[in-house]
Structure 1
Amino acid sequence: MEYVIGIDLGTSSVKALLVDKKGNVAGETTATYPIFHDHDRYSEQAPDDWVKETKNVLRELINKYDLNKDDIKGLSFSGQMHGLILLNEENNPLRRAILWNDTRTNEETKDIEEVIGQNRLWNITKNNPLEGFTLPKLLWVKKNEPLIYKQATTFLLPKDYVRYRLTGRMGIDLSDAAGTLMLDLNKNEWSTEILEELGIPHHLCPPVFPSDTYCGGLLEGVAEEIGLSKDTKVFAGGADNACGAVGAGILSKGKTMCSIGTSGVLLTYAGEEKTHFNGDLHFFNHAPDGKYYAMGVTLAAGYSLQWFKEVFLKEQDFSECIAATASLPVGSRGLLFTPYLVGERTPHIDPFVRGSFIGMDSSHRKEEFLKAIMEGITFSLKESLDIIQENGMEIDTVIAIGGGAKSEVWLQMQADIFGKKVVSLTNEQGPAMGAAIIAATGCQWFSSLHEAAQNWVKEGTIVTPQPSNVKEYEKLYPLYKKVYHHTKGITKELAEFRV
């Protein structure tokens, strides 16, 4: 039997997915690693922890499923975006990696906008300068850790460092490079303009290449350590959102992915069209070469539910609580929730705003609070969907993955609020499946990522909007959109009382 492996390097864990030629998941293994929060707003990891645990999950996969090393024909990667790893002359990390969710770079983000200018940033990178991106992190090290910065010879992103340690191939794929705020998306190369104006030497930027680039085999010592053949083909891979979209089959016009995990993502296929959405959405390179996607982000999607569960429903069966919301009316009997527990990203780039329950009275029960949270998360994602459609991009089908796809109640709510057909998948495995599809295509099992996804991605439940619910949500949605504007100032002033 022949297999490929998709490796997903996440923020809290790494996952290895074993997939056969028919797209069946034959096995998986996971391992965790620590996150370091040494100071307020800091979030870091040790790059060599990623390498260690990636080797461990690959070794465990081989042993657990009693595989012959020659059974594995190829592997590829998905990885958390934006994280900065600085390497010295020996290509060893100079410090811990600064992660995507590290928010220490507020001043550097302002500096970028001041020096480059918002319109030029939109025209070159297609994105706003945000604290999570790589460029502000690089400027922070330059300003605050000058000795480390002077020793740096190159930088990498998380999965690219792991791939380098496994293969010796240095570089960053385009879908991940797009999230650095240093890539010129018009040329798909590093922006000389941005680098020179911010005083960043070009040599720090490694080669860039498409996600399906063949990066060679495994280093001999690594292959022996893991139990794989050194001839196992390794392909570049992509950013987690790009791979998640590949794994959900978002590879043609009209297809859109709604992913509800800790954060929420509304991502649509843009094809070869390039636009900057005036910074209202992220716009990045997709895994297929020469293709792009647009994406809106709700920072606290599943996290809002997790918070409510841990604080108010700890002793109860959470799935039963969600199922109970099906009998409640649209609008949770006049209760609205905004999911701004950690600020917001789309359509409001606002790290200071906080969440609200609006309209509650003493008759509201926990089930209605729960439904209001689900509605608020979905309303927030609809704001991204609206921006996409207002810019002339069609959406006919929404593929639901993550926590929002595991409940028929929530699938129906998404269909009713979005006003679109919503589809779940029978073999959903997130970005790891996308990485496996990249490996399978690289091994020439398929002629393209699109063909691979057509064969491997299997639709499950199909939900269509209920007209009566759609009508009610159309009345409620404008009220939801008013809440941000009425509460943003209040929640900012309340910050001094949060101790």
Structure 2
Amino acid sequence: MEEYVGAFDIGTTAIKGVLVNNQATIIGEYSILLDTYYGENGEIEQSPTDWWQGVKEITQKWWSELKLNPKQIVTLTFSGQMEDVISISSTYPNQRAILYSDTRSEQEAAYIMKKLPTIHDKTGNTIRSSTPLAKLLWLKENNVEVFDETQCFVFSSKDYAVYKLTNAFVTDPTTATTTGMMSLNTRDWIPEILETFGLSGNQLPKVYSSEEIVGYVSKAAAEETGLLESTPVLCGSGDAGASTMGAAAVNHGDTYFYIGTTGWAAIVQDSNKQNKGINTIFNLAHLPESLNISIAPVLNAGNVHKWAVETFANEGTDNKYEEFDALVETIPAGSNGLLFLPYLNGERCPVSDTDAKGAFWGIGPKTKKSDMARAVIEGICYSYKQLIDLITNQGSEGLLTLIGGGSKSSAWCQILADVIGRPVRVPIDSEYMPALGISSSAFVSLGWSESYNDFSKQFLVPVEAEMYEPDMVKHEVYEGTYQQYLKLYPNLKGIYD
């Protein structure tokens, strides 16, 4: 009877569940879409009960459609969106989770930075409105009943799923680094920060390494999911750690792009090094204890691509994404002089401005929708070029790995290679690479791999991949238009203000 790791990736738009055997072969890929609540004052929330319902639906598909025996699931592991604030309370059990992109706590973030201006030195990160510490202070001030009755706050969607399975309050170092309360060096909560802002360590989860067993499937959870009672559950990792593993980035200097609904550029560094002094960059703990991840995040990636597809592809076509790609490929590099600033949702990096807006510049009497379509993709790629220049030395050479749903667009991948001027490697089925990446924690826990590095060499590096080589003639064109692009935001900022 073949054994499997059950791996779940609880993202912003969907929950993905996969089964992975001891040769890292994936079967049983299922996805459940999620609803998001948007309020009038910057509130962006989801219902944790929807996450749990998604986990249950996927496990039921394993039994009913794959005819799997629950005995075949030997370990469960998870990745999920980070920087959430999730209240676990028996008094208020149906509280929505405050998501990472929620902006209601800008004043609290400014207050924290004024109170502890050197907090970056301890946590590795600047406090932003997205930081859970700021959100906790907002909740403490604006919903004191929920705050006081909360048994424990957790900070990743996967932490909630682990709680529902095991009744354990836990989190992992990657997720905890984003909270503004954990030391990047020691991977422990910082008492000084908790005391300064009147927070109790009793309301925080215990930090475990990703490969540690944090509990076992409870009797109640077994009845709801069909999983065997006492199946081991690992701590898992926040999505950035899982994605970094999935990109086979486990050595100092490894770089990759992630393009999902939102996205980021990342570089792996030894734990004694970090990008200090750049407020828009996150420095996070990696799954291997000796490594950190420097991440430059963007709010505008796949969500902007989706908007463009819906806007410029013809209604009624069988496949709007394929038609959009074909539209993009009819236009030469540089979009006939049209530039696009992709800040449809504000932005976090390379600029930090929640009020930023998207814009086309250079529209003339001959501008066509195909020019606009290509300009959108080029604008997103210019934004990613800014990210990679932030976290690495400009002009760095070598391979870049690209993972996430955006990698399914061949036109987008090629334009990215041309803009960056470096080869881009896209693993086959790269949208499932974060789930495969987090399965590494189970392989290490089970002894199927000796280490994370061993898992990467054995199962990730050899994965079949599409290679996109840069067209250096087009790259020269982009070098010029990129300099124009860099002037867009500074000159439009006055309009936003």
TM-score class normalised by the smaller sequence: over 0.9
Q: CA deviation at 1:326?
A: 2.9
Corresponding residue for 2:68? 67
State how far apart, in whole Å, the 1-side matches of 2:220 and 2:452 are. 31
The answer to whether the Cα contact below 8 Å between 1:218 and 1:234 also exists between their aligned partners in 2 is: yes
Corresponding residue for 2:45? 44
Kindly provide the amino acid, as one letter, of the partner of residue 447 in structure 1: E
The answer to whether the Cα contact below 8 Å between 2:252 and 2:291 also exists between their aligned partners in 1 is: no
Q: Give secondary structure in 1 for the equivalent of 2:402.
A: strand
Kindly provide the amino acid, as one letter, of the partner of residue 361 in structure 1: G
Corresponding residue for 1:57? 58
1:347 aligns with 2:350: yes
Distance of aligned partners of 1:430 and 1:130 in 2 relative to their CA distance in 1, 3 Å threshold: farther
State how far apart, in whole Å, the 1-side matches of 2:305 and 2:380 are. 9
The answer to whether the Cα contact below 8 Å between 1:28 and 1:61 also exists between their aligned partners in 2 is: no
Q: CA deviation at 1:112?
A: 1.2
Kindly provide the amino acid, as one letter, of the partner of residue 110 in structure 2: K
Corresponding residue for 1:85? 86
Corresponding residue for 1:140? 138
Kindly provide the amino acid, as one letter, of the partner of residue 24 in structure 2: G
Corresponding residue for 1:195? 194
The answer to whether the Cα contact below 8 Å between 2:31 and 2:58 also exists between their aligned partners in 1 is: yes
State how far apart, in whole Å, the 2-side matches of 1:362 and 1:294 are. 44
Corresponding residue for 2:290? 290
The answer to whether the Cα contact below 8 Å between 1:94 and 1:148 also exists between their aligned partners in 2 is: no
CA-to-aligned-CA distance 1:432-454 (integer Å, 9 cap, x gap): 22222222222111111222232
Corresponding residue for 2:424? 422
Distance of aligned partners of 1:172 and 1:411 in 2 relative to their CA distance in 1, 3 Å threshold: same
Corresponding residue for 2:127? 129
State how far apart, in whole Å, the 2-side matches of 1:391 and 1:164 are. 43
State how far apart, in whole Å, the 1-side matches of 2:265 and 2:458 are. 24
Identity %: 32
* Higher alpha-carbon deviation: 141-150 or 38-47: 38-47
**Aligned-residue CA RMSD in angstroms?**
2.1
The answer to whether the Cα contact below 8 Å between 2:44 and 2:101 also exists between their aligned partners in 1 is: yes
Corresponding residue for 1:172? 171
Q: Give secondary structure in 2 for the equivalent of 1:476.
A: helix
State how far apart, in whole Å, the 2-side matches of 1:444 and 1:371 are. 47
CA-to-aligned-CA distance 1:137-194 (integer Å, 9 cap, x gap): 1001111112222223321122112102202332111111111111111221112222
Q: Give secondary structure in 2 for the equivalent of 1:262.
A: coil
1:263-412 paired onto structure 2 within 5 Å:
263-278=262-277, 279-315=279-315, 316=317, 317-390=320-393, 396-412=398-414
Q: CA deviation at 1:59?
A: 2.3
Q: CA deviation at 1:91?
A: 8.9
* Higher alpha-carbon deviation: 138-147 or 6-15: 6-15
Distance of aligned partners of 1:327 and 1:307 in 2 relative to their CA distance in 1, 3 Å threshold: closer
1:462 aligns with 2:463: no
Q: CA deviation at 1:229?
A: 2.4
The answer to whether the Cα contact below 8 Å between 1:280 and 1:387 also exists between their aligned partners in 2 is: no
Corresponding residue for 1:20? 21
CA-to-aligned-CA distance 1:441-468 (integer Å, 9 cap, x gap): 2211111122223232214111222221
1:116 aligns with 2:116: yes
Kindly provide the amino acid, as one letter, of the partner of residue 128 in structure 1: T
Kindly provide the amino acid, as one letter, of the partner of residue 410 in structure 1: W
Q: CA deviation at 1:484?
A: 0.9
Distance of aligned partners of 1:221 and 1:153 in 2 relative to their CA distance in 1, 3 Å threshold: closer
Q: Give secondary structure in 2 for the equivalent of 1:423.
A: strand
State how far apart, in whole Å, the 1-side matches of 2:109 and 2:167 are. 33
CA-to-aligned-CA distance 1:199-223 (integer Å, 9 cap, x gap): 2222222211211111232113322
State how far apart, in whole Å, the 1-side matches of 2:397 and 2:152 are. 40
TM-score by length of 1: 0.92
Q: CA deviation at 1:33?
A: 4.1
Distance of aligned partners of 1:442 and 1:123 in 2 relative to their CA distance in 1, 3 Å threshold: same
Q: Give secondary structure in 2 for the equivalent of 1:440.
A: helix
Corresponding residue for 2:10? 9
The answer to whether the Cα contact below 8 Å between 2:340 and 2:375 also exists between their aligned partners in 1 is: yes
TM-score by length of 2: 0.93
Q: Give secondary structure in 2 for the equivalent of 1:17.
A: strand
Q: CA deviation at 1:389?
A: 1.6
CA-to-aligned-CA distance 1:47-81 (integer Å, 9 cap, x gap): 23322321221122222111112211111001111
Q: Give secondary structure in 1 for the equivalent of 2:216.
A: coil
Corresponding residue for 2:239? 240
Corresponding residue for 1:497? none
1:209-248 paired onto structure 2 within 5 Å:
209-248=208-247
Distance of aligned partners of 1:38 and 1:299 in 2 relative to their CA distance in 1, 3 Å threshold: closer
The answer to whether the Cα contact below 8 Å between 1:29 and 1:57 also exists between their aligned partners in 2 is: yes
Distance of aligned partners of 1:272 and 1:19 in 2 relative to their CA distance in 1, 3 Å threshold: same
Q: CA deviation at 1:97?
A: 1.6
State how far apart, in whole Å, the 2-side matches of 1:123 and 1:391 are. 25
1:471 aligns with 2:471: no
Q: CA deviation at 1:92?
A: 6.8
Kindly provide the amino acid, as one letter, of the partner of residue 159 in structure 1: K
Kindly provide the amino acid, as one letter, of the partner of residue 53 in structure 2: K
Kindly provide the amino acid, as one letter, of the partner of residue 168 in structure 1: N
Q: Give secondary structure in 2 for the equivalent of 1:195.
A: helix
Kindly provide the amino acid, as one letter, of the partner of residue 259 in structure 2: I
Q: CA deviation at 1:236?
A: 0.7
The answer to whether the Cα contact below 8 Å between 1:324 and 1:367 also exists between their aligned partners in 2 is: yes
Kindly provide the amino acid, as one letter, of the partner of residue 149 in structure 1: F
1:154 aligns with 2:152: yes
* Higher alpha-carbon deviation: 408-417 or 218-227: 218-227
Kindly provide the amino acid, as one letter, of the partner of residue 14 in structure 1: I
* Higher alpha-carbon deviation: 180-189 or 430-439: 430-439
* Higher alpha-carbon deviation: 448-457 or 31-40: 31-40
State how far apart, in whole Å, the 1-side matches of 2:226 and 2:88 are. 28
In the alignment, structure 1 segments of 5+ residues that lack a partner are 493-499
Kindly provide the amino acid, as one letter, of the partner of residue 463 in structure 1: Y
Q: CA deviation at 1:94?
A: 7.1
Q: Give secondary structure in 2 for the equivalent of 1:277.
A: coil
In the alignment, structure 2 segments of 5+ residues that lack a partner are none
Kindly provide the amino acid, as one letter, of the partner of residue 420 in structure 2: F
Kindly provide the amino acid, as one letter, of the partner of residue 355 in structure 1: G
Distance of aligned partners of 1:154 and 1:94 in 2 relative to their CA distance in 1, 3 Å threshold: farther
Relative contact order higher in (CA < 8 Å, ≥ 6 apart): 1
Alignment match of 1:445 (pick from 413, 436, 448) = 448
State how far apart, in whole Å, the 1-side matches of 2:159 and 2:143 are. 23
State how far apart, in whole Å, the 2-side matches of 1:206 and 1:454 are. 33
Q: Give secondary structure in 2 for the equivalent of 1:488.
A: helix
Q: How many residues are matched?
A: 488
